[in-house]
């Protein structure tokens, strides 16, 4: 065990949990109507709790067990055989478990942005739990757990390069979000602006800070590689924020606060897979392109395809993660066959599993709330609470 590595990954684990609670909750919560903000908080919080238990029970074993190249098996269920003295590289294995658990929390939580304001709470819980175990965890095993897409797998000595989750986190969550949005259909009222842009900015700022743990922690060591990952993460986020705002100003005449912080998230998602393989100049390029590319993806999905992915999960996270994964090959840090092949295989698998789970779960519990509940807001109708009581 290395004490410095262990101390850093403890901090990184806290930072990645901070991304979901409270970062993502505030970022998403500020973007919805006032009558739905508590439902968004509830979704993020409840998913964090449920994923933690499911990761302990089965998820970690499926992802990092050694049954075969496609499925980790259940040998490590409930941390069977893992003690305080067990090691994973230079880290206590129990810490590696906890660090990866925070990734298993935020990935299904990202999907929340696609279905807010009109989804049933029961569906959120059942779908998120099943999707994490049957989609996310196997993909983790394939790429990070020594599976068939990693080094020495089907793509030869150099397997799929995905440092912190461009494919594992952002492509899977983005595609699942898009598919749920298609199945749900659009909201009855899509014209209401974000109820609290201040929340959005605070949440995005928390995500930015937390992302240092997300990307820097993925080095699994306290060394120069982790420092470089943090630096390029910051550079990409800053550049994408400005390129988004500039593109917004050119196209619409004004640069908005919600726009610039959405650009931040686009830059962060795009650098995530590449953060362990590129330097500051490449990060500048990735960020500059991401701010424009993801903004155009938002307009394409929302205005041309008429898909109500409420908070643009696929356009920002999905497109950003896919773009960053491809840029690894562009900059020569990975092979074209592995990068594109990994995207294709995981994309097809995610699509099949997500669609199957949507059908199965909606047969058990309603996918969408009724019109009256949607009109009155999920906060009061589903959870019996209001975020703002102006009479008190």
pLDDT under 50: residue ranges of the chain: none
Per residue, what are the HEC states of the chain?
CCHHHHHHHHHHHHHHHHHHHHHHHHHHHHHCCHHHHHHHHHHHHHHHHHHHHHHHHHHHHHHHCCCCCCCCCCCCHHHCCCCCCCEECCEEHHHHHHHHHHHHHHHHHHHHHHHCCCECHHHHHHHHHHHHHHHHHHHHHHHCCCCCCCCCECCECCCCCCCCCHHHHHHHHHHHHHHHHHHHCCCCCCCCCCCCHHHHHHHHHHHHHHHHHHHHHHHCCCCHHHHHHHHHHHHHHHHHHHHHHHHHHHHHCCCCHHHHHHHHHHHHHHHCCCCCCCCHHHHHHHHHHHHHHHHHHHHHHHHHCCCCCCCCHHHHHHHHHHHHHHHHHHCCCCCHHHHHHHHHHHHHHHHHHHHHHHHHHHHHCCCECCHHHHHHCHHHHHHCCCCCCCCC
Cα 297 to Cα 292: distance, rounded to the nearest angstrom: 9
Q: Are 168 and 214 in contact (CB under 8 A)?
A: no
Residue-wise pLDDT for 95-143, tens only, equals: 999 999 999 999 999 999 999 999 999 999 999 999 999 999 999 999 9
Burial class (CB in 10 A: 0-12, 13-18, 19+), 233: buried
Q: Is the dihedral of CA 124, 125, 130, 132 positive or negative?
A: positive
Structural tokens at position 217: 């922690």
> What Å distances lie between residue 279 and 131, 181, 236, CA to CA?
34, 36, 10
Task: Tell me the whole-structure pTM to 2 decimals.
Answer: 0.97
Two tokens, residue 247: 């593109």
In this structure, are residues 108 and 47 in contact, taking their beta carbons and an 8 Å threshold?
yes
pLDDT, residue 392, reads 63
pLDDT tens digit string along 12-54? 999 999 999 999 999 999 999 999 999 999 999 999 999 999 9
Q: Cβ of 223: how many Cβ atoms within 10 Å?
A: 13
Question: Tell me, what's the pLDDT at 189?
Answer: 87
Q: Return the pLDDT at 192.
A: 87
Q: Which residues pair with residue 340 across a beta bridge? A: none
Tell me what pLDDT residue 191 has.
85
């Amino acid at each position: 065990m290395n004490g410095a590595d262990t101390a850093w990954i403890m901090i990184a684990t806290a930072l990645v949990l901070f991304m979901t609670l409270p970062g993502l909750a505030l970022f998403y919560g500020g973007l919805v109507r006032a009558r739905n903000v508590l439902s968004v908080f509830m979704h993020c919080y409840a998913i964090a709790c449920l994923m933690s238990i499911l990761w302990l029970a089965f998820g970690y074993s499926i992802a990092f067990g050694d049954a075969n190249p496609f499925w980790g098996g259940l040998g490590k269920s409930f941390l069977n055989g893992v003690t305080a003295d067990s090691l994973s590289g230079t880290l206590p294995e129990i810490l590696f478990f906890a660090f990866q658990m925070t990734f298993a929390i935020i990935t299904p939580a990202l999907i929340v942005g696609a279905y807010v304001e009109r989804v049933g709470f029961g569906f959120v819980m059942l779908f998120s739990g099943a999707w994490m175990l049957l989609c996310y965890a196997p993909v983790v095993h394939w790429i990070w757990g020594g599976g068939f897409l990693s080094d020495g797998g089907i793509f030869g000595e150099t397997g799929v390069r995905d440092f912190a989750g461009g494919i594992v986190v952002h492509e899977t969550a983005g595609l699942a979000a898009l598919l749920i949005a298609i199945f749900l259909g659009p909201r009855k009222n899509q014209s209401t602006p974000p109820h609290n842009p201040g929340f959005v900015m605070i949440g995005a700022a928390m995500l930015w800070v937390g992302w240092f743990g997300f990307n820097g922690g993925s080095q699994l060591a306290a060394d120069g590689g982790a420092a470089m990952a943090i630096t390029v993460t910051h550079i990409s986020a800053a550049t994408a924020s400005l390129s988004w705002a500039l593109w917004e100003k050119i196209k619409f005449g004004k640069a908005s606060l919600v726009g610039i912080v959405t650009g931040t998230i686009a830059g962060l998602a795009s650098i995530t897979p590449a953060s362990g393989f590129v330097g500051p100049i490449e990060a500048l390029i990735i960020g500059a392109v991401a701010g424009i590319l993801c903004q155009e993806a938002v307009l394409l999905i929302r205005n041309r395809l008429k898909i109500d992915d409420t908070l643009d999960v696929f356009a920002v996270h999905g497109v950003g993660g896919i773009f960053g994964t491809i840029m690894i090959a562009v900059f020569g840090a990975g092979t074209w066959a592995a990068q594109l092949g990994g995207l294709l295989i995981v994309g097809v698998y995610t699509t099949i599993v997500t669609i199957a789970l949507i059908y199965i779960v909606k047969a058990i519990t309603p996918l969408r709330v009724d019109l009256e509940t949607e009109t009155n807001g999920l906060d009061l109708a589903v959870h019996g609470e209001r975020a703002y009581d102006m009479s008190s």
